[in-house]
Amino acid sequence: MAAAGGAWSWLTADRRRGWALFGALTAIGVALIVIGEFTGWDWLRLIGIALISLGGFGLGVLAGFSPAGLRGVLGRLRAVRLPLAVVVALVIGLPAVVALLGALDGAAGRALALLGVAIAVLLAAAALFATVMALRALRLAWGGVEQGADSSTEKVGEGP
């Protein structure tokens, strides 16, 4: 415990040390994954995952406990959040929808395939619905709601 505390103090005394250390761990981890993949040494993968996880954890904690946090990174993300969110919403939903609509090809098949078509259509509809709802929510969040307003709870009188 004391050793961990000491190591943490050493890292946070000069945060550049921490960034360098955890950044290096991540980079080594990625390198091991790459080597493992091309050499067939699958055992390297676990070590790579461990280093990448440790690196990510350390970077997150280091940034999280710094006074300024990730002000710059989050600021840049924030500046592009609306287009980013719309693109993400579309990208994550559409490939599945396209694949599922491909199942319509089986509509002329046997009964179980017809069931498959029905399931695919339902899932595609659900994914489309979810995407539309998410886009609507994003529009409301960044376009249609007055700052700080509680968008959808109305005052009620006598209770339920």
70's CB contacts (< 8 A; 6+ apart) are 63
* From 17, 37, 80, 87, residue interacting with other proteins (rule: CB under 8 A): 37
Rule CB under 8 A: say whether 140 interacts with other proteins.
Answer: yes
Structure tokens belonging to residue 91: 């990208």
Q: Nearer to other proteins by C-beta: 64 or 83?
A: 64
- Residue choice 56, 80, 83, 86 for contact with other proteins (CB under 8 A): 56
Cα(19)–Cα(80) distance, integer angstroms: 26
| Cα 51–chain centre separation | 20
The full length of the chain comes to 160
| Token reading at 45 | 């993968």
86 in contact with other proteins (CB under 8 A) = no
Helix axes 43-65, 2-13, angle to 10 degrees: 70
d(CA 62, CA 68): 11
Binding mask 94-123 vs other proteins (x if CB under 8 A, - otherwise)? -xx-xxx-xxxxxx-xx-xxxxxxxxx--x
Alpha helices in 40-151 (DSSP H): 43-65, 71-79, 81-102, 111-139
Residues 2-31 within binding reach of other proteins (CB under 8 A): 26, 29-30
Which one of 11, 18, 21, 48 is in contact with other proteins (CB under 8 A)? Answer: 48
User: What minimum distance in Å lies between the beta carbon of 5 and other proteins?
Assistant: 15
Q: Does 78 bind other proteins (CB under 8 A)?
A: yes
Q: Let me know: does 137 contact 151? Beta carbons within 8 Å.
A: no
Taking CB under 8 A as the binding criterion, the range among 2-10, 12-20, 46-54 that sits at the site for other proteins is 46-54
The amino acid present at 116, given as its one-letter code, is: G
Min CB(50)–other proteins separation in Å: 10
Residue from 4, 16, 64, 83 touching other proteins (CB under 8 A): that is 64
Residues 3, 5, 13, 42: which binds other proteins (CB under 8 A)? 42
